[in-house]
Amino acid sequence: MQSRMFIMCRCMGAKAGYKMAPIEQGHRQRILIYSHDTFGLGHLRRCRAIAHKLVETFENASVVIISGSPIIGRFDFADGVDYVRVPGVVKQPDGTYATSNMSLDLEETVQMRRAIIMATARSLKPDLLIVDKEPTGFRDELLPTLHHLRATGTKIVLGLRDVLDETSVIVPEWERKGAIEALRQFYDHVWVYGLPEIHEPLAPFDLPETLRNEIIYTGYLRRELPAESRSTRYPRLTRKPFALVTTGGGGDGEQLIDWVLSAYEHDPDIGIGALFVFGPFIPDARRGSFLERMSRLPNVDAITFDSKIEHLITRSECVIAMGGYNTFCEILSFNKRALIVPRRSPRMEQAIRAERAAELGLVSVLDGTKLETGVNRDPHEMAQAIRQLQNRPKPLESALPSLLDGLETIEITARAWLTGKDPAITAIAG
């Protein structure tokens, strides 16, 4: 694909001893990032990583993230990055949505979100709008802002994770939402935060050639260690080799926690301790039940949440996770052996990613159907998988070219768009 080749050759040049010239003093870039964030941590953490890269690239930049995440305030943001929180919504077990905190019906909440988004865009006057995952926003709340910013000449980019869902689900869903028409009407480019060798999320769609040429596969988003707080105290267990068990936000991770915990109850001599990170959205009652079981195991401990979990991943010997996008990026970035048990509902996203990554030798995988409620999970199977995990190759021993070039690609493309200069010309010897 021509767009991908254009970007990748410049990323490789930058990594081979070149650095980008600094942006001219006095030129102030304004960037707006929209994330609907109805649940979980994935969208927010991806947008935050991109925002930090952009303010690192453009020292005079101002980046505003619009988010519905209820815990956005628990994260640190770099200078130049701020956020506007819109009223939250949550997905119900039956697939419908409701407001999370306010006593308003859903339509009133969407109208309020729509007004806040438009007011933010009018005030910021962004040079670049990055939309995370949903081309028209939650319940079309982004459409008025897209019309406005298209008329003002703002560069508009859709950012997609590497996998959306299986074809039978995502095609009718996007048709119902008018997503492809929105791409034609409003968007200049699509960033796919991954590689086509792993998955092509827009392949199922009948896109015109002009739209296909706007797709840029950036590579995965490399994660760096954030500044570590001097007040951080990790459990004693982390002073020895340990497996980190993480389920992201935790709202859908109870079955994985139960399965791994049962393995340690079944086989206390697995050979490596385990630190569980529950996530902020796990129900209190379930957390309490797990903690009671853990209290009887000498080589198991838990914490609720760590906004700088990168430090725990770095300290760990291996990672056991469900394989969401951000966790996958962290496993690759810190070159950790990983056992992925992907959920298969309500989306197949994690399973598609994990199975392809296993084919490429990047991770180990167990059957995610075992995470469904009421399914019998064999603790011996999990114990054996943990034992074998400690001896498997690390992922970067099987790495694909440009696997972790995502942020560098974003830097180069954004630089070209926002300065009007060819990145090959602005690259200078380092």
Which one has a higher pLDDT value, 160 or 19? 160
Residue among 342, 315, 314, 341 nearest 330 (CA): 314
Locate 423 and state its tokens.
Answer: 């990145």
155-161 and 189-193 beta bridge pairing: parallel
Q: Are residues 149 and 272 in the same domain?
A: no
- Quick check: 163 and 199 in contact, CB under 8 A? yes
Q: What is d(CA 228, CA 241) in angstroms, rounded to the nearest whole number? A: 20
Q: Are residues 366 and 423 in the same domain?
A: no
Q: Are residues 143 and 242 in the same domain?
A: no
pLDDT in tens, 70-109: 888 888 899 999 999 999 887 765 667 778 777 788 899 9
- Quick check: 213 and 2 in contact, CB under 8 A? yes
pLDDT of residue 17 exceeding 50: no
Which one has a higher pLDDT value, 43 or 425? 43
Name the least confident of 11-15, 290-294, 334-338, 351-355.
11-15
Bridge partners, 318 (sequence order): 243, 337
The pLDDT score that the predictor gives to residue 248 is 77
The pLDDT score that the predictor gives to residue 185 is 95
Task: Report the 10 Å Cβ neighbour count for 121.
Answer: 23
Q: How confident is the model at residue 430 (pLDDT cuts 50, 70, 90)?
A: very low
pLDDT in tens, 216-266: 999 999 998 888 776 678 899 999 999 999 987 767 789 999 999 999 999
Q: Are residues 309 and 251 in the same domain?
A: yes
Helix residue ranges, H only, 142-178 = 143-152, 167-177
Q: What is d(CA 34, CA 117) in angstroms, rounded to the nearest whole number? A: 8
Locate 236 and state its tokens.
Answer: 């004693």
Q: Are residues 165 and 242 in the same domain?
A: no
- Quick check: 248 and 42 in contact, CB under 8 A? yes
Q: What is d(CA 317, CA 261) in angstroms, rounded to the nearest whole number? A: 18
Q: Are residues 201 and 291 in the same domain?
A: no
pLDDT in tens, 23-70: 444 568 999 999 987 655 678 889 999 999 999 999 889 999 999 888
Whether residue 230 lies inside any domain: the answer is no
Whether residue 37 lies inside any domain: the answer is yes
Contacts of 54 (CB under 8 A, 6+ apart): 29, 31, 61, 63, 410, 411, 414
Q: What is the CATH number of the domain that holds 253?
A: 3.40.50.2000
Give, for 109, the enclosing helix (H) or strand (E): helix 106-124
Burial label for 243, CB within 10 Å (0-12, 13-18, 19+), is buried
Does this model's pTM top 0.75? My answer is: yes
The pLDDT score that the predictor gives to residue 32 is 98
pLDDT in tens, 157-192: 999 999 999 999 999 999 999 999 999 999 999 999
Residue among 410, 417, 3 nearest 202 (CA): 3
Q: How confident is the model at residue 421 (pLDDT cuts 50, 70, 90)?
A: low
Residue among 59, 52, 61 nearest 21 (CA): 59
Whether residue 229 lies inside any domain: the answer is no
Whether residue 174 lies inside any domain: the answer is yes
- Quick check: 234 and 228 in contact, CB under 8 A? no
DSSP helix/strand/coil, 249: coil
89-91 and 97-99 beta bridge pairing: antiparallel
Q: Are residues 133 and 162 in the same domain?
A: yes
Secondary structure of the chain: what % helix, strand, coil (to 5)?
Answer: 40, 15, 40
Q: pLDDT above 90 covers what percent of the chain? A: 67
The pLDDT score that the predictor gives to residue 7 is 38
Output Rg (C-alpha) for the chain, integer angstroms: 22
Q: Are residues 424 and 309 in the same domain?
A: no
State the total domains in the chain: 2
- Quick check: 192 and 202 in contact, CB under 8 A? yes
The pLDDT score that the predictor gives to residue 279 is 82
Bridge partners, 129 (sequence order): 32, 156
Whether residue 108 lies inside any domain: the answer is yes
Sign of the dihedral through C-alpha 340, 190, 20, 153: negative
Whether residue 143 lies inside any domain: the answer is yes
Q: Are residues 159 and 290 in the same domain?
A: no
Q: Are residues 367 and 418 in the same domain?
A: no
Q: Are residues 201 and 89 in the same domain?
A: yes
30-35 and 62-67 beta bridge pairing: parallel
Question: Mean of the pLDDT values across residues 404-425?
Answer: 82
Whether residue 419 lies inside any domain: the answer is yes
Q: Are residues 267 and 217 in the same domain?
A: no
Residue among 4, 11, 23, 33 nearest 408 (CA): 11
Q: What is d(CA 262, CA 270) in angstroms, rounded to the nearest whole number? A: 12
Q: What is d(CA 247, CA 202) in angstroms, rounded to the nearest whole number? A: 27
Q: By residue range, what is the domain housing residue 304?
A: 236-398
pLDDT in tens, 364-408: 999 999 998 889 999 999 999 999 998 999 998 876 889 999 999
Whether residue 227 lies inside any domain: the answer is no
